[in-house]
Amino acid sequence: MNDKYSILFEPVKIGPLTARNRFYQVPHCCGLGHVRPQAHAAMRAMKAEGGWAVVSTEETEIHPSSDLSPYAEQRIWDEHDIPALRLMTNAVHEKGALAAIELAHNGAHAPNLLSRAPLFAPSDISLDLAHPRQARAMSIREIGEFRRWHRDAVRRARDADFDIIYVYAGHRMSLLHHFLLSDINTRTDEYGGSLENRTRLLREVLEETLEIAGDNCAVAMRFAVDEMRGADGMQAAEEGRAVVELLAELPDLWDVNVSDWSNDSATTRYQPSDGYQTSYIEFVKQVTSKPVVGVGRLSSPDQMVSLIKRGVMDFIGAARPSIADPFLPKKIAENRIDEIRECIGCNICVAADNTGVPIRCTQNPTMGEEWRRGWHPERIEAKRHEQSTLVIGAGPAGLECATQLARRGYHVTLAEAADNLGGRALAESGLKGLGAWRRVVDNRVYELRQRANVDIYTDSALSAEQVVELAIKNVFVATGAKWLGNGLGRSNRQPLTPGKNISVFTPDDIMAGNLPADGPLIIYDDDQIYLGGVLAEHLSAMYADISFVTPASVVSPWTEHTLEQERVQAALMHAGVQLKPNCTLGSVPGGDAAAGSGDGVMQTICTYTGNRHTLPCASLLLVTERCREITLYDELKSMQDTAAIRTLELIGDAASPGLIADAVYAGHLAARDFEADAAVVERALFRREIISLKS
């Protein structure tokens, strides 16, 4: 190990326990939870194997009145939940780490859709999700009941062999946080009013948790010191600090961050600096002698050392960096810094949880696959009989496929038509806010260039004949997809026919630097994922007159899942982009370019009424749908037998356009499956966790 990083590997005491180093995987959701306990245990254990000293669960519902269904969080409602949780503690302990559980009652954030229990809050308030339910102000008796539920959950957590038990007041998502916040807690009894009163319940719960935890467990306090809402919310400089002062020496550890979740898990698009929470949480260590863990997309070992040396934190907390690279601590310990797969801050991991499916990661395609496919982020089966492989296309699918084939020991020839490597990942990383996405390319190209068994050719647009001439019998075609320029998409199933004097552009044009000469510019986003909004933000600095037309009711609706939608829409509005939601785009009906009607204008068509409005248009950017680049693949397929090509695989966007994460995953899967037993590839896609029929 490089000496300058040895401070990161010092053991640190947490109450009665000792963590083996300063790497701490803080609680994070993963879409596995109580629904997929074996997958959950294997995923957490992988972090322990990768060197993390503490590995935590996600939010763990303590009672049916905190039921987050249909989301797959953790659950500890009664003793029947203990065996599933013990899968995790056993697996984590086996790899030498401490296991932490984040006990949670979500109050007015839990819809209780499964349990149909009443909703609880300090004061009457609507559920903070779009379900037709309201929470009621808890009576003193109900507050007592809640304390009992929490105590019971602590006992069960102890029985499930957790080492660290959390008390959770963060993200504006937990009852204990709600009691602290003056805009949610408007009580006039001893639990409301002054900050001391609003902190009362938290103190009681902390004290009771400590008492039950006893000498074998430590108690962590997770607290959001600042809501990042200025004077409208709790601020680190005022009440946030005061709460820490009131409870300073009570917990065994302070796990501090900012609220809400979109601020805590900020994307690089809106928060490019790693370590972005430091200025909010750095006061905490001045107030308490207990160890402090902080987060903020911390992947750089130099930054970590500086945070410890400057006394900002004792533990390097991580959710996303531990997802992107579960072996981050080991790589630092073994002086393999260049091999760290850095989080790109895209929140595809968050999107999985928000859509109720198992976690996935753009950078780490093995994330969530540890149990169901048996994938290990650092290990892959060695090659069998074949020697050489050809990967065509060096976008995310081709780069990942080539990297894993090379790791397996095959000779890899990687051919790319462009003069650079990276395909869409490189192209998109040139757009405003997406610079960090380049890490997808850089990490893989770095590794490929280290390997003697890899030959890389750029400026090499291969034809089918050239592929045959190369005489490599195993070919992976990752030629990607191009954006359509005819307007076909989700809403328009007939091509658009823009009138005279309208120049049409696609996202590929913009990313290649082929920009409209002048406005007015219409951006038509029928893709509705993220790219339309990114392009609008990118171009808003260059063109004064931009209209953003979309059939969706908001800009980039899919970015709700990555916690960005409000930011995207606000950025466009601040930039003066004219938003035209709930509209498809069409030409002037019966427009005749020769006669001048429909010349230099398009029409918006209301998706509800069909009402049309004319919009001036000199340039039209269509973000609608992609066309798979499969000409080469089809030609090779037709000559596969005569050319004696043994393996011919179409992967990535050329097979099924999707996210960069999907392309990386497809490349990884193809490399893993190459030469695998047919029975293994053909059997059910992956292991499933079937619900037991025992009652």
Order of all β-strands in the sheet with 411-415: 454-457, 411-415, 388-392, 474-477, 647-650
Nearer to ligand ADP (CB atom), residue 362 or residue 569: 362
Task: Note the residue count of the chain.
Answer: 695
Among 198, 200, 424, 580, binds ligand ADP (CB under 6 A): 424
Taking each helix axis from N to C end, the angle separating 396-408 and 660-673, rounded to the nearest 10 degrees, works out to 30
**What minimum distance in Å lies between the beta carbon of 128 and ligand ADP?**
36
Of the residues 29, 217, 346, 361, only one is catalytic, namely 29
As measured in angstroms, the least distance from the Cβ of 477 to ligand SF4 is: 26
CA distance readout (Å), 612 to 239, 330, 560, 605, 608:
52, 60, 29, 5, 11
Position 346 contacts ligand SF4 (CB under 6 A): yes
Asked whether 389 and 472 are in contact (CB, 8 A), the reply is: yes
The single-letter code of the amino acid at 532 is G
Please state, in angstroms and rounded to a whole number, the distance separating the CA atoms of residues 578 and 585: 15
Q: In terms of CB distance, is 50 or 365 closer to ligand ADP? A: 365
Q: Which residues pair with 605 in a beta bridge?
A: 584, 612
654 binds ligand ADP (CB under 6 A): yes
Q: Which range in 101-109, 160-168, 271-279, 360-368 contacts ligand SF4 by CB under 6 A?
A: 360-368
Handedness of CA 182, 188, 192, 196 (dihedral sign): positive
Name residues contacting ligand ADP, limited to 342-401 (CB under 6 A).
392-398
Q: Please give the Cα distance from 228 to 646 (Å, whole number).
A: 57
Residue 468: contacted member of ligand ADP, ligand SF4, none (CB under 5 to 8 Å, by partner type)? none
| Contact pick of 343, 380, 549, 655 for ligand SF4 (by CB under 6 A) | 343
| Element containing residue 583 per DSSP (H, E) | strand 583-586
CB of 40 or CB of 320, closer to ligand SF4: 320
**Known active-site residue 168:** yes
What is the number of other CB atoms lying within 10 angstroms of the CB of residue 420? 13
Provide the CA 544 distance to its chain's centre, in angstroms: 33
Question: 354-380: b or e for each residue (b if 16 or more CB lie within 10 Å)?
Answer: beeebbbbbbbbbbbbbbbbebbbeeb
478 makes contact, choosing from ligand ADP, ligand SF4, none, with CB < 5 to 8 Å by partner type, with: ligand ADP
Taking CB within 5 to 8 Å according to partner kind, which of ligand ADP, ligand SF4, none is near residue 108?
none
Assigned token pair, 610: 């069909």
200: three-class secondary structure by DSSP: helix
CA 198 to chain centre: 33
Residue 455 corresponds to which tokens in the numbers above? 């030959």
Helices 396-408 and 439-450 pack at an angle, to 10 degrees, of 30
Residues near ligand SF4 (CB under 6 A), total: 13
Nearer to ligand SF4, 209 or 299 (CB): 299
Q: Which is nearer to ligand ADP, 422 or 499 (CB)?
A: 422
Joined tokens for residue 218: 């430590």
Catalytic annotation present for 401: no
Q: Which of ligand SF4, ligand ADP, none interacts with 324 (beta carbon under 5 to 8 A by kind)?
A: ligand SF4
Q: What x/- string results for residues 266 through 285 when contact with ligand ADP is judged by CB under 6 A?
A: --------------------
Residue 344 interaction partner, one of ligand ADP, ligand SF4, none, beta carbon < 5-8 Å per kind: ligand SF4
Binds ligand ADP (CB under 6 A): choice among 59, 252, 525, 629? 629
- Closer residue to ligand ADP, CB minimum distance, 97 or 462: 462
Out of 180, 316, 348, 568, the residue judged to bind ligand SF4 by CB under 6 A: 348
Q: Is 426 in the site for ligand SF4 (CB under 6 A)?
A: no
Among 81, 345, 652, 668, binds ligand ADP (CB under 6 A): 652
- Looking up tokens 């393996």 gives 647
| Cβ atoms within 10 Å, residue 675 | 16
> What are the Cα distances from residue 417, in Å, to 167, 303, 666?
54, 38, 20
Site string for ligand SF4, 285-324 (x = CB under 6 A): -----------------------------------x--xx
Q: Does 349 bind ligand SF4 (CB under 6 A)?
A: yes
Kindly tell me which residue out of 257, 267, 479, 587 binds ligand ADP, with binding defined by CB under 6 A.
Answer: 479
Q: What whole-number distance in Å separates Cα of residue 360 and Cα of residue 356?
A: 12
Q: Which residues bind ligand ADP (CB under 6 A)?
A: 392-398, 415-418, 423-424, 460-462, 478-481, 629, 632, 652-654, 663
| Residues labelled as active-site residues | 29, 168, 171, 264
Q: Which residues bind ligand SF4 (CB under 6 A)?
A: 320, 323-324, 343-349, 361-363
